[in-house]
Amino acid sequence: DAKTTQPTSMDCAEGRAANLPCNHSTISGNEYVYWYRQIHSQGPQYIIHGLKNNETNEMASLIITEDRKSSTLILPHATLRDTAVYYCIVLMNYGGSQGNLIFGKGTKLSVKP
Amino acid sequence: NAGVTQTPKFQVLKTGQSMTLQCAQDMNHNSMYWYRQDPGMGLRLIYYSASEGTTDKGEVPNGYNVSRLNKREFSLRLESAAPSQTSVYFCASSRDSLYEQYFGPGTRLTVT
């Protein structure tokens, strides 16, 4: 599975958009980009995933560059409850076989009032 | 719908003692996983079960055994606990190995 690089930490003002970048320059054509987050001491929470196209759900948007070497997770209106460590994970999906999540150190997002 | 539940929430063991961590899910998921998380680190996969009746090693399996008891339950056993196994243990499940994983609240284990 491709390795990812994320900033160690970021700050965001409450109510503003939080844009979390992730580099995955060695990603291959059949690898997906997944985002999870972990709020202090809790189990990780799935946010969103995508392959090529931009994706949006009720939690966030995922923007993947055309060359797929990087992506950005966007939380459109960050709240204090979005303070967490955000993990960008690249995962191969191949039919019938296991793709394992490999968690790095992630980005610690602090949302400030 | 409780999702993924884990017991116990906290546990203190002495070196050499054994224990089993329990995990259950009520989402009819096929795949289940055990991770550990050490302070300041990301999660590392210990074992997983892609479907009922199968188990496979993850990144850090040494010192652990698992049992997929049925579709709902996946237990993790420490036969002879060591201080290096002090960690937070998370169980997760997914509809299939290709789908997003849902995590339990964790078990905080201290081995003295």
Q: Which pLDDT tens digit goes with each residue over A33-92?
A: 999 999 988 999 999 999 998 999 999 999 999 999 999 999 999 999 999 999 999 886
State the CB neighbour count (10 A cutoff) for residue B54: 12
Measured torsion, CA atoms of residues B32, B38, B39, B43, in degrees rounded to the nearest 10 = -40
Q: What is the dihedral of CA A72, A78, A80, A84, to 10 degrees?
A: -10
Nearest to A46 among B42, B90, B101 (CB): B101
Share of chain B above pLDDT 90, in %: 81
Residues 39..58 of B with a Cβ closer than 8 Å to A: which? Answer: 40-45, 48, 50, 56, 58
| Minimum Cα–Cα distance from A101: chain B residue | B45
According to the model, what pLDDT value does residue A101 have?
78
pLDDT at B39 over 90: no
Which residues make beta-bridge pairs with B32? B49, B93
Distance, in Å, from the CA atom of A71 to the CA atom of A80, rounded to the nearest integer, reads 23
